[in-house]
Chains A and B, each alone.
Chain A
Amino acid sequence: MRPLDTIVIAWRGATANKLRSALTILGVLIGVSAVIILLAVGNGSSLAVQARIRNLGTNTITVLSRGRFGRGPATTGTQSQSASLTLQSVQALSDPNQAPDVASVSPVVSTSQTVAIGAASTETSVVGTTPAYLTAEDYALAAGSPITTQDVTNRRRVALIGQTVLSNLFASGQNPLGQTILIGSASFQIVGVLAQKGASGITNQDDVVIAPYTAVQDELTGESSTFSQLLVQAKSTAALDNAAAEVEDILAAENHTTVANLPFAIINQGTLISTAQSTSSTFTTLLGAVAAISLLVGGIGVMNIMLVTVTERTREIGIRKAVGAPKPAILAQFLFEAVLLSLIGGGAGVLVGYIGTHFKIQGVTPVIAGYSIPLAFGIAIAVGVFFGLYPANRAASLRPIDALRYE
C-alpha cells in the first residue's frame, strides 16, 4: 500500500457523503476562524491601548501635585498644600548627579482659556512649559518653529497651536504663523503649528495651545512659583523605573518626607503600559479559551462523523480485509479521512479568519497575532488525528468475518 493510494482512498471516502463532510468541515472551520479572529481582536485592542498610552509621550513620568488631577484651572487655591512643585524641584530633578536616568524635566502650568482671533474664538487648554515638553510628549511641528529656551527666559508671549485650535480659529488655507491671538485677555503671537497627534483616551491632544510657562504665569495664572505638573522624560524605556525611583527620592528629600508620604502623584508610563498589557493579555487569553472550546467541539464533530462512517462502512472494511488489507492500511485510511476533514476545515478556517480580521469588531481593529495562524491550523490537524484515531482504530480492529456479516 502506497501513501498516495491511501490519500486517494481517504479522499474518496470523505467526498462520498458531501453534505456530511461539509458540515464536519464547517465545525472545524468555525473553531479555527474563531481562534484567529478572537485572538486578533484581543491583540488589536491590546495594541490600541498601548498606542494610546504611548501617545502620552515617550518614556515619561508625570508628577502631579495632589488635588490637581486632571486639567482644572490653576487659579483655584493650592496654598493649603504643604508641598508644591517648584523651580527648585525642576532644578533638582534635572541634576545629572542626583538623577542620572532623567533626560529632561519640563514644568507644566495648565489652564483652560478662551482663545480668540477676530470674531473666531474657542475654549481650549493652554499649557505653559519649556521646549523639552515637546520632545517628551512627542509633539512635532507642522509649520513654523518651536518655542525656545530664550522665549522662556525672556517671558515672550509666543504660542504653538494644535490642529483642533487651528481649524477652530482659522479658515483652511489661511496662514496662522505670525498672527496674534488673544488668550484670555493677553495677546500671544503664533510661531508654530503642531502636527496632528490624535486622541489619548478622552483627551484630544490636538486641542491645545503651548506657550512658555513664564508667559503663561505672567499673563494667565498669576502664580510664579509653583507648577501643576512636572513632565519627566527618562533616558530610555529601560531607565524608566530607575528614573521614577530617583524622582521619588529627590522629591521626598526636598519635602522632608518619605516616598510613601509623598504629596505628589507619580505616574510612570511604563507601569501604565505593563498594567494595560497584563489586563489585555488576560482578555486575550479569555477570548482564546472560548475559541479553543469551539475548536474542541469541532473536533468532537469529526470524531462523531468518523464513528458513524466506520459503522456505516463496516461491510466495506470487511471486503477490504478479505482482499488482503492489513490493519495499518485500514487504520491509515480512516485516520487520513479524519485528518483530511480537519485539514480542509483548518485551511478554510484560516482563510475565513484572515478575511474576518479585516473588519472592525466592536470598535476594535483586529490585528492578527502572528502565532495564531500556525497555532489554530496545527491544533485543527492535531484534533483530526486525536479524534480520528479512535474511530480508525475501531475500524482496523474489526474482524473481517464479523465485518462481512454486518448488515
Chain B
Amino acid sequence: MAAPRDGRPVIALRRVVKTYAVGTVEVHALRGVSLTVERGDFVAIMGASGSGKSTLMNIIGCLDVPTRGQFFLDGIDVRTLDEAQLSRIRNRKIGFVFQSFNLIPRTTALANVELPLLYAGVGARERRARAEAALTVVGIADRSSHFPNELSGGQQQRVAVARAIVMNPALVLADEPTGNLDTVTSHEIMGAFGRLNAGGRTIVLITHEEEIAAFAKRVVRLRDGLVVEDRRRVPLDALPPQLEPRPAVAVGDGAS
C-alpha cells in the first residue's frame, strides 16, 4: 500500500508570493508560502475565504503563476514553462476536481472522462477503455452513457474524480469537492478520495470544513496568505483516517 518513494516531492513551494492588482489596490493573496508535499500524501489545505487558499490551489494547479518564489511540481520548475508546456503539465501531472463538478454539458460521462486523454492524443479505443476503467474505480461505470444533467450531484462529482485520475497524474487537486453535496454524499466522495490515496495517489484537498479535512492525513491552515498551522494527523505511509470502519463519533475528531 505504501506510495512509491523516489525522494522527489510532488509539490515544493518556496516562499511563494502572489499579488493581484484589483483596480489601483494591490491584494496580497499569498505572502510567502513554503510547503512540501511528498508522494502518497493526502493534504487538506484549510482556511477561511480570503485566506489565499484558492490562489494557492491555482498556483499548484498551474492555472496561475507565482509573483515571486519558486514552485516545483514533480521536480519541474513551473516558472520556466511556456503556455503550451503548462497545458501539458495540467494534462499529464494534475487531475482537477472542482466544487461545481465542471463537467461539459451535453456530453456523456464517458466522453467527459475521455477529455484529458483526447488532448493527450490517445486513440479512440484506448481512450474508451481507460475512461471506463476510471469510471469503474469510482463506482459509476453503469452511468457512463448518461449526460451530466441526468446525474445527481454525487454522481457528477464521481465522474469528475474519474476524469481527474484517468491520466494517472502525480497529483489530484480537489477544490472544495464536497461544497455542493449533502453530508452522506460528501462522505462517499471523501471515501473515494481515501481509497485513491490508499492506492498510492497524492491528493491535495482544499476545504473550509473541518469534517472534510478530517479525511486527510495532514492539515495545513492558511490565514491572510500565510501558513499558520501544518499538522500531520497520520503518518505518510499509513492509511488515510476514516478509511477503516468509521467510528460513530468521527466527526470533529481531532479537530479542535
In the bound complex, how far is the Cα of B119 from the Cα of A321, in angstroms? 10
Quote the shortest CB–CB distance from A3 to chain B (angstroms): 11
- Contact assessment for B102 and A321 in the assembled complex, using a CB-CB cutoff below 8 Å: no
- Contact assessment for B120 and A324 in the assembled complex, using a CB-CB cutoff below 8 Å: yes
- Contact assessment for A319 and B87 in the assembled complex, using a CB-CB cutoff below 8 Å: no
Known A1-B119, A12-B107, A401-B58: A326·B84 in contact at CB below 8 Å: yes
- Contact assessment for B119 and A322 in the assembled complex, using a CB-CB cutoff below 8 Å: no
Closest chain B residue to A329 by CB distance?
Answer: B119
Closest chain B residue to A315 by CB distance?
Answer: B102
Closest chain A residue to B104 by CB distance?
Answer: A316
In the bound complex, how far is the Cα of B90 from the Cα of A176, in angstroms? 95
Q: Mark B96-111, 1 if CB is under 8 A from A, else 0.
A: 1010001111110000
Cross-chain contact of B121 among A1, A16, A399, A404 (Cβ < 8 A): A1
- Contact assessment for B90 and A321 in the assembled complex, using a CB-CB cutoff below 8 Å: yes
- Contact assessment for B91 and A324 in the assembled complex, using a CB-CB cutoff below 8 Å: yes
Q: Which residues in B have their C-beta under 8 angstroms from that of A319?
A: 102-104, 115
Q: Which residues in B have their C-beta under 8 angstroms from that of A329?
A: 119
- Contact assessment for A322 and B90 in the assembled complex, using a CB-CB cutoff below 8 Å: yes
B218 within 8 A of A: no
B61 within 8 A of A: yes
Q: Which residues in A have their C-beta under 8 angstroms from that of B107?
A: 12
Quote the shortest CB–CB distance from A14 to chain B (angstroms): 12
Closest chain A residue to B105 by CB distance?
Answer: A316
Known A16-B106, A324-B92: A400·B63 in contact at CB below 8 Å: yes
In the bound complex, how far is the Cα of B253 from the Cα of A309, in angstroms? 48
B163 within 8 A of A: yes
B118 within 8 A of A: yes
Number of B interface residues at 8 Å Cβ cutoff, please give it: 30
Main secondary structure of the interface of A (DSSP, over half): helix
Q: Which residues in A have their C-beta under 8 angstroms from that of B105?
A: 316
List CB contacts (< 8 Å) of A318-339 with chain B: 318-327, 329
Quote the shortest CB–CB distance from A9 to chain B (angstroms): 8
Quote the shortest CB–CB distance from B32 to chain A (angstroms): 21
Closest chain A residue to B124 by CB distance?
Answer: A5
- Contact assessment for B63 and A404 in the assembled complex, using a CB-CB cutoff below 8 Å: yes
Q: Which residues in B have their C-beta under 8 angstroms from that of A404?
A: 63, 98, 102
In the bound complex, how far is the Cα of B119 from the Cα of A324, in angstroms? 6
List CB contacts (< 8 Å) of A282-337 with chain B: 315-316, 318-327, 329
Question: Which of A316, A327, A400 has most B Cβ within 10 Å?
Answer: A400
List CB contacts (< 8 Å) of B153-191 with chain A: 163, 167
B231 within 8 A of A: no
Known A16-B106, A319-B102: A325·B119 in contact at CB below 8 Å: yes
- Contact assessment for B119 and A2 in the assembled complex, using a CB-CB cutoff below 8 Å: no
In the bound complex, how far is the Cα of B121 from the Cα of A16, in angstroms? 24
Cross-chain contact of A322 among B61, B106, B167 (Cβ < 8 A): B61
B88 within 8 A of A: yes
- Contact assessment for A327 and B87 in the assembled complex, using a CB-CB cutoff below 8 Å: yes
Cross-chain contact of A326 among B92, B119, B163, B167 (Cβ < 8 A): B119
- Contact assessment for B98 and A327 in the assembled complex, using a CB-CB cutoff below 8 Å: no
Cross-chain contact of B87 among A16, A315, A326 (Cβ < 8 A): A326
B116 within 8 A of A: yes
Closest chain B residue to A323 by CB distance?
Answer: B116
Quote the shortest CB–CB distance from B121 to chain A (angstroms): 6
Cross-chain contact of A323 among B64, B91, B124 (Cβ < 8 A): B91
- Contact assessment for A401 and B102 in the assembled complex, using a CB-CB cutoff below 8 Å: no
- Contact assessment for B118 and A1 in the assembled complex, using a CB-CB cutoff below 8 Å: yes
Closest chain B residue to A401 by CB distance?
Answer: B63
List CB contacts (< 8 Å) of A127-141 with chain B: none
Question: Which of B84, B92, B115 has most A Cβ within 10 Å?
Answer: B115
Closest chain A residue to B103 by CB distance?
Answer: A319
B83 within 8 A of A: yes
Q: Which residues in A have their C-beta under 8 angstroms from that of B89?
A: 324
- Contact assessment for A324 and B87 in the assembled complex, using a CB-CB cutoff below 8 Å: yes
- Contact assessment for B118 and A322 in the assembled complex, using a CB-CB cutoff below 8 Å: no
Q: Which residues in A have their C-beta under 8 angstroms from that of B123?
A: 2
Q: Which residues in B have their C-beta under 8 angstroms from that of A325?
A: 87, 91, 119
Known A325-B119, A404-B98: A12·B83 in contact at CB below 8 Å: no
List CB contacts (< 8 Å) of A29-61 with chain B: none
In the bound complex, how far is the Cα of B172 from the Cα of A322, in angstroms? 12
Cross-chain contact of A5 among B61, B83, B88, B118 (Cβ < 8 A): B118
Known A2-B121, A400-B63: A323·B96 in contact at CB below 8 Å: yes
- Contact assessment for B115 and A326 in the assembled complex, using a CB-CB cutoff below 8 Å: no
Cross-chain contact of A327 among B83, B103, B116 (Cβ < 8 A): B83
- Contact assessment for B106 and A12 in the assembled complex, using a CB-CB cutoff below 8 Å: yes
In the bound complex, how far is the Cα of B63 from the Cα of A153, in angstroms? 104
Closest chain B residue to A17 by CB distance?
Answer: B106
In the bound complex, how far is the Cα of B106 from the Cα of A100, in angstroms? 80
In the bound complex, how far is the Cα of B94 from the Cα of A200, in angstroms? 81
In the bound complex, how far is the Cα of B63 from the Cα of A141, in angstroms? 88
Q: Which residues in A have their C-beta under 8 angstroms from that of B103?
A: 319
In the bound complex, how far is the Cα of B104 from the Cα of A9, in angstroms? 12
Quote the shortest CB–CB distance from A274 to chain B (angstroms): 60
- What are the 5 A-B residue pairs with the smallest beta carbon separation, nearest first? A324-B91, A326-B87, A323-B116, A401-B63, A324-B90
Given A5-B124, A324-B87, A329-B119, output 9 extra A-B contacts at Cβ < 8 Å.
A2-B121, A320-B104, A322-B90, A324-B88, A324-B119, A325-B119, A326-B84, A401-B58, A404-B102
List 24 A–B pairs whose Cβ atoms lie within 8 Å, in order of A's numbering: A2-B121, A9-B118, A315-B102, A320-B104, A320-B119, A321-B87, A322-B90, A323-B96, A323-B116, A323-B119, A324-B87, A324-B88, A324-B91, A324-B119, A324-B120, A325-B119, A326-B87, A326-B88, A327-B87, A400-B63, A400-B90, A401-B63, A404-B63, A404-B102
Q: Which residues of B contact A (CB under 8 A)?
A: 58, 61, 63-64, 83-84, 87-92, 96, 98, 102-107, 115-116, 118-121, 123-124, 163, 167
